[in-house]
Amino acid sequence: MYQHTLTTLKNGLRLITVPMPQVESVTVMVGVGAGARYETRRINGLSHFIEHMAFKGTKKRPSTLAISSAVDSVGGVFNAYTDKEFTSYFVKLPADKLSLALDILSDMTVNSLFKKEEIERERGVIIEEINMREDTPMTKVAIDFERLIYGDNPLGWDIGGEKEIVGKIQRADFFEYLARLYYAGNMALAIAGGIGVNQGGQLAKLIEGYFGNLRKTGQKQSEHININQIKPRIDSFYKKTEQAHFCLGVPGYNLFNPRRYALAVMTAILGGGMSSRLFTEIRERRGLAYYVGADLDFRTDVGFLVSRVGVKLTKIEEAIKVILAEMQKMASKKVDIKELNVAKEMLKGHLLLSQEDTFNVAERHLTQLILEKEIRPYKEVLRLIDRVTVDDVLQVAKDLFKPEKLNLAIVGPFKDKKRFSKILKSG
């Protein structure tokens, strides 16, 4: 697979270059160790708000149109996203337009104007985004589940924030947040795609000209989050829907836990694809749902495993019982060696296929460097997946699938939570 070069600039900004000689495009991505977990309740949603404002005008390109026109003029694409611990800005365009990508991204992340009138205009846009998420049951239930399992702390709060809080964020809050977290030592830049193998040193000099004026230090800090759960928990949001949506899951492991690979294999077996146990039982054999699957969330100090289902209103209890039964089965009996190997090959295949795109390559290198402080080679990840045994999977299942660790979030026309509490207790 691809070999990367890591260079640290004079101001502390780290540069990752990943040559992919077979492609003619390049993705340039700026990653920041910033996100919702670095907010207080008073400014919940500000990380996401800042990401939006990066597109609203800079010193060199004073409007959204000026920024987008520069990218459109070469057939490129650009965007950004905010997560709990990571914020990303990226441009993907033809490799010979690399300098333009650097110019645009440095302008957006260093020289945004944050005009008062644009803040007010975008405030309305974000509130409508929050409304959209609240009105979309599949999204709403995922937000509710994170709050349920992580609790009333920054990891449990919605990335987009609450409408009342977003409505009160002031211009000064943006600059205070940027001073704390948008500094060279807390940022990195990845360039993946059609660049020369020996171009890393030349690029470092070029990038000094674009990002050399980044502040060197900041004040990054956050509280450590623990999940101390001693009994099952339920959150039910009443909404008239044609389908019930629920998330059923348990606390998992953090990014640094070596058992994360056994957990990933177990999750693949449980709900990782159309041949998984949950898909087979809930959709194929019983016809209860259209979408069903299991996902993982890894943070620097905590994580979770969750099963997500959209089910017939009259069949929600049956679907919950099926998932509980599959969890119990996983924790009481070793998986078949053939099933284990299929899951491992699926995970390895997904990883390898994802690395055919310059965006995925840049993102993987950036998130690992910023969140895990190191870039793990592909071969090492493949080796760690291969080392997972049936005993490893059983031990992880025994550790996680316990009645007192269950969390259930529901969106649908249900007013009585007791009926679901009984199911969890019996499960």
Cα gap 334→11, rounded to integer Å: 52
What integer pLDDT is reported at residue 207 of this predicted model?
93
According to the model, what pLDDT value does residue 176 have? 97
Tokens 């194929």 sit at which residue?
284
State the chain's mean pLDDT as an integer. Answer: 95
Q: How many residues are there in the chain?
A: 427
DSSP state of 62: -
Residues annotated as part of the active site:
51
> What CA–CA distance (Å, rounded) separates 49 from 166?
8
Q: How far apart are the first and last CA of the chain?
A: 44
Give the HSE-up count for residue 237: Cα atoms under 13 Å, Cβ half-sphere: 22
Q: What is the pTM of this model?
A: 0.95
Of the chain, the percentage scoring pLDDT greater than 70 comes to 99
Q: pLDDT tens digit string along 92-128?
A: 999 999 999 999 999 999 999 999 999 999 999 999 9
Residue 246: strand, helix, or coil = strand
Domain 5-211 of CATH type 3.30.830.10: yes
Express each pLDDT in 230-279 by its tens digit. 999 999 999 999 999 999 999 999 999 999 999 999 999 999 999 999 99
- The per-residue pLDDT for 342 is 97
Domain assignments of the chain as residue spans, ordered by start: 5-211, 233-426
**Strand partners for 302:** none
The secondary structure of residue 75, as a DSSP letter, is: T
Residue 126 has a pLDDT of 98
283-329 pLDDT per residue, tens: 999 999 999 999 999 999 999 999 999 999 999 999 999 999 999 99
Q: Name the pLDDT band for 198 (thresholds 50, 70, 90).
A: low
What integer pLDDT is reported at residue 200 of this predicted model? 57
Q: Classify 361 as helix, strand or coil.
A: helix
Q: What percent of the chain has pLDDT over 90?
A: 92
What DSSP state is assigned to residue 19? Answer: E
- For residue 104, give Cα distances in angstroms to 94, 116, 195, 332, 341: 14, 22, 18, 55, 45
* Confidence at residue 323, expressed as pLDDT on a 0 to 100 scale: 98
Alpha carbon distance 10, 239 (integer Å): 54
Fold match, 5-211 / 233-426 = yes
Class of residue 384 by CB neighbours under 10 A (exposed 0-12, middle 13-18, buried 19+): middle
| pLDDT at 197 (0 to 100) | 67
Q: What pLDDT score was predicted for residue 419?
A: 87
Pairing of strands 407-412, 233-238: parallel
The predicted-structure confidence for 130-188, as pLDDT tens digits, reads as follows 999 999 999 999 999 999 999 999 999 999 999 999 999 999 999 999 999 999 999 99
State both tokens at 12: 């502390």
Residues 6+ apart with CB under 8 A from 364: 354, 355
- pLDDT tens readout for residues 2-48: 899 999 999 999 999 999 999 999 999 999 999 999 999 999 999 99
pLDDT beyond 90 at 201: no
Task: Report the pLDDT value the prediction gives residue 223, as an integer from 0 to 100.
Answer: 85
Contact between residue 245 and residue 411 where contact means Cβ atoms under 8 Å apart: yes
Mean pLDDT of 350-366: 96
CATH class of 233-426: alpha beta
What does the pLDDT average to over 76-89? Answer: 98
| Strands in 275-419 per DSSP E | 289-298, 303-312, 407-412
Across residues 325-348, what is the average pLDDT? 98
Q: What's residue 2's pLDDT?
A: 84
CA 89 to chain centroid: 14
